[in-house]
Amino acid sequence: MEEYFDGLDPAGEPRRTYTTRVAERLAAGDERVRGARDAWHQFVRETTGSSLEAVAVERPASAAVDALDGIDRAFVATCYYDFLVETLFDSLEGYIGVTVANRDPATNTTALGTSLTAVHDAVLEAGAVGVRDGVASSTLDSLDPAALGELYRAVVPRAVRLVLGEYYTPPGVAELAVASLDVDLTAARILDPGCGAGAFLAAAIDAKRAAIDAPPAETVDRIVNSVVGIDLNPVAVTTAKLAYLSALSDLLDASDRDRLSIPVFLTDALGLTREDDITFAGERADTTFDALVGNPPWIPWERLPDAVKDAWRREYVSELGLQPHEGIEARLGHSNDDVSVPYAFTCIHRYLRRGGDAAFVLKRDLVRGPAGAVLRRLQVGERSLRLRHVHDFAALDPFPDAGADAALYTFTADADPVTPVPTTVWRGREGGEAAFVSAASLRETTATVETELVPLEGADRTTAWVRADLAREAQGDCSHEIRHGLKDDAAAVFGLDRDDLAAVETGRVFPYLRSRHVRKFGLSGHDLRLVPADLAGEDNEADLEENYPNTYDYLATHRETLLDRASAWLDRGPFYTQFGLGPYTWAPYKVVWCRLGFKPDFAVASTRPDPDLGEKTVVPGDHYMFVATDDRQEAHFLCALLNSTPYQRTLRTLASGGKASLSKSVVSELALPSWPGTDRARRLAECSIELHDLVADGTDDDAATVAELRGTIDRTVREGIEAGAFGVSGGDRA
């Protein structure tokens, strides 16, 4: 960063000086700074909810900044980033001799009241902070969205970026998105409805420049009348306008133009929080486009403010068919769903002309999990979509902040859906890293595999899609209900230390499994958890108070904390209710695994000895999924299947690289039959039991014995698959 931006080193003395002065003025009650802070807080709450208020923002620049709470630290970091962008903007305008007439984010639409100019003025009144003495021409010549995204990541803490759902797109991915559009680039009107740092706008500008054969002045006019951006974040709008100006800078110089309006608009592209008339150059802008491109926000539904969720439900859910779930889960924003697909589809509805194209960067696991059912339905209200191509970046890492694999999906509107879907899988080359600085460099530094995505259930597109080129030998029918572990959203209350046991009766305390406690064929420890009832929502308050008075008193002291839990699942029953709790929780045997990440370790949990509790039933935690059974042999038979090489290989094919890689929807695609009672099944169960005994005895480091038992399991499972013994059907579906 220091080398690229010269004096704009975001970690150096200018940053410490700027952020310290903002913090000091906040503490001193400066009305300009406090007013901007309050407006920014309101903007964040209205658009992304209250999650940012609980974020721990690290890397304080000084004692003054360290004294601020998390959301004010986020505000200060945002101010400094905006200050740097404004500095670059000033320098670029002077360097190329062009003034941007609508530079202020609010010029084109109603102001959101979040201008940070007053903050910058307050800081500069106290003297220069070392970055406005001029920016090197080499920096301005090479300024692009990638550099701005790098600057944003260097200045704004990762925790803040995650809450705001802002993952700036590498130029190579943006260029690939524009190249995937089937439109006439000389004339097509292109919109990015959530333009961020302007990566897709710059890519569209570059593509149009290559396609348009006209003098510089005419080329500029044709571009600014056809490449449009929208964003709800004023700082993003300023950044995108800067990227737009930079992409046109040499054309502007050649055209002798000294003034320019840039079609990047500050408003809510979905009309959920506000609905503004977008005007450009004094006239109302045409909001029908030939193509849409972009990277929609990856914000979980649960973080959105209630007003935004209600508006989305009211305006679009029924009309556009944005409801991905059925039954008890039939509500917008179930589980870990995020807004990316509804955002993209709502934009198609609002802005895309008939027969137009759209290319969006979305999560790769949408082709598999329940949250992707809306995408796989390929329908936006009455308009059908054809998914023409998918670029799968699973083996690369274009968004290291996101914690989820990405893919580029290209759609044509008002065309019949067709499967299978052509897919390009991108992989890094041995000994090197993928370079995302351009589409050309991405191709040069990666290898690709051409394949197809096919629905598991043939004509039913809403079922999970899998790659046709990968083996799915253990895919088949699952005869078991897969359950979710205990969810209580109050670990500080229900999670107990040994010292806490004196305050409660141990009758309602159980061994509790967390992510670290399960490995293949065994458990390695447990925590303690208070489970006040046997069933979710059970009204046992009177019984608990009578038979476990200390436990009831302990819970009562935390009543307000328990009532403040946000999850809708916890609205039923007494104030201490927990979710994921039923007869299955108390089954004698449970085959358990962690659903988060990709750690395909399966074990059988039954009871565990505890020095304070005695021998008690194990309760799987929130990060766990499990299959419950009353039959010991059946549990170990299933555990052997799941830990075998054929099943593990199939899981790698079916699982995404996202947060919930081993979810119910993934594991239920495996062939998991009821106990067949055959010699083959008994042999598998016996091997699993012996391996569990080795782990329990602490002798699982007997490598020879473990290898022999696991080899027997692999051979037995392979024989069973070849004989069709487990209900396997994956090999016939590719």
pLDDT (mean) for 608-615:
95
**pLDDT of residue 381 exceeding 90:** yes
What is the predicted pLDDT for the residue at 734?
34
Among the ranges 88-102, 190-204, 419-433, which has the highest mean pLDDT value?
Answer: 190-204
**pLDDT of residue 11 exceeding 50:** yes
Q: Provide the pLDDT confidence category of residue 331 given band limits of 50, 70 and 90.
A: very low
Least confident of 193-207, 350-364, 390-404: 390-404
**pLDDT of residue 660 exceeding 70:** no
User: How far apart are alpha carbons 383 and 405 in whole angstroms?
Assistant: 28
pLDDT (mean) for 704-723:
89
Q: Go through the domains of the chain in sequence order and give each one's CATH number.
A: 14-467 (3.40.50.150), 482-732 (no CATH)
Which is higher by pLDDT, 665 or 349? 349
Query: Considering only CA atoms, which of 394, 432, 431, 389 is closest in space to residue 411?
Result: 389
Query: Considering only CA atoms, which of 250, 21, 12, 8 is closest in space to residue 134?
Result: 8
What is the predicted pLDDT for the residue at 77?
86
- DSSP code of residue 660: T
**pLDDT of residue 658 exceeding 80:** no
Q: Provide the pLDDT confidence category of residue 149 given band limits of 50, 70 and 90.
A: confident
- The C-alpha angle 340, 346, 349, rounded to 5 degrees, equals 145
Burial of 422 (0-12, 13-18, 19+ CB in 10 A): middle
User: How far apart are alpha carbons 720 and 123 in whole angstroms?
Assistant: 73
User: How far apart are alpha carbons 547 and 225 in whole angstroms?
Assistant: 74
The angle, 0 to 180 degrees and rounded to 10, between the axes of the packed helices 703-722 and 645-654 is: 70
Which percentage of the chain shows pLDDT scores above 90?
Answer: 49
**pLDDT of residue 328 exceeding 70:** no
Q: What is the pLDDT of residues 38-97, one digit of tens each?
A: 888 888 888 777 766 666 665 555 677 767 777 888 888 888 889 889 989 999 999 999
User: How far apart are alpha carbons 654 and 77 in whole angstroms?
Assistant: 40
Q: CB under 8 Å to 731, separation ≥6 — which residues?
A: 471, 472, 473, 475
Query: Considering only CA atoms, which of 599, 366, 607, 579 is closest in space to residue 486?
Result: 579
User: How far apart are alpha carbons 424 and 453 in whole angstroms?
Assistant: 10
Q: CB under 8 Å to 129, separation ≥6 — which residues?
A: 14, 17, 18, 21, 123
**pLDDT of residue 325 exceeding 60:** no
Q: Which residue has the tokens 């710059």?
A: 202
What is the predicted pLDDT for the residue at 47?
78
pLDDT (mean) for 654-663:
72
Mean pLDDT of the chain: 86
Q: How many residues belong to the chain?
A: 734
Q: How many beta carbons lie within 10 A of that of residue 108, not counting itself?
A: 23
What is the predicted pLDDT for the residue at 110?
45
pTM reported for the whole predicted model: 0.72
User: How far apart are alpha carbons 172 and 145 in whole angstroms?
Assistant: 11
What is the predicted pLDDT for the residue at 114?
57
Burial 305-336, CB ≥16 within 10 A → b, else e:
beebbebbeeebbeebebbbbeeeeeebbbbe
Which is higher by pLDDT, 540 or 565? 540
- In this structure, which amino acid lies at residue 62? S
